[in-house]
């Protein structure tokens, strides 16, 4: 069961682990036009060389309703469903769907990303706040 207090108290802990589920660029190569399945394969290969600090997130192909009910029983935030053949598109898209557990407590996490001047290209560095949560 996720524990927000434990997470919060470990923000500077050397044992913290980032969970990686997608890769948008690598060594200056823009991967956003590639299908999600290809980006995941590249991410997996890159993370094999990583010793600690980042963990590859496996994906599961299951019935959506069954999967959602299972994560709700575990008290997790929700699920994100992505089309394996879809390129990355920032903002709302028909290629992915996030469904939240209505009983989850939502907290905020900071994500650091490079954002361009409104056209989706990524240049300077900015902070993006994303929702994350756990059930209480």
Query: What is the tens place of the pLDDT at every residue in 73-107?
Result: 988 888 888 899 999 988 888 888 888 888 876 55
Rounded to 5°, the CA angle 20-23-26 comes to 125
**Does residue 53 carry a pLDDT above 70?**
yes
Say how far apart CA 94 and CA 55 lie, in whole Å: 27
Query: What is the tens place of the pLDDT at every residue in 27-45?
Result: 999 999 999 999 999 999 9
Say how far apart CA 23 and CA 128 lie, in whole Å: 17
pTM reported for the whole predicted model: 0.62
Query: What is the tens place of the pLDDT at every residue in 7-21?
Result: 566 565 666 778 888
Q: How confident is the model at residue 5 (pLDDT cuts 50, 70, 90)?
A: low
Residue 135 confidence (pLDDT): 37
Query: What is the tens place of the pLDDT at every residue in 99-120?
Result: 888 887 655 444 444 555 555 5
Residue with tokens 């409104």, as numbered in its chain: 118
């Amino acid at each position: 069961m996720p524990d927000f207090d434990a997470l919060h108290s470990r923000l500077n802990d050397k044992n913290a682990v980032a969970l990686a589920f997608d890769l948008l660029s690598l060594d200056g190569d823009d991967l956003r036009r590639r299908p999600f399945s290809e980006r995941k394969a590249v991410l997996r290969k890159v993370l094999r060389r990583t010793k600690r600090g980042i963990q590859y997130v496996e994906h599961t192909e299951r019935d959506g309703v069954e999967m959602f009910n299972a994560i709700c029983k575990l008290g997790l935030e929700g699920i994100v469903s992505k089309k394996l053949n879809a390129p990355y598109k920032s903002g709302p898209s028909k290629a992915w769907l996030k469904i939240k557990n209505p009983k989850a407590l939502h907290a905020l996490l900071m994500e650091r990303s490079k954002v361009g001047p409104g056209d989706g290209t990524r240049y300077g560095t900015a902070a993006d706040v994303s929702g994350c949560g756990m059930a209480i």
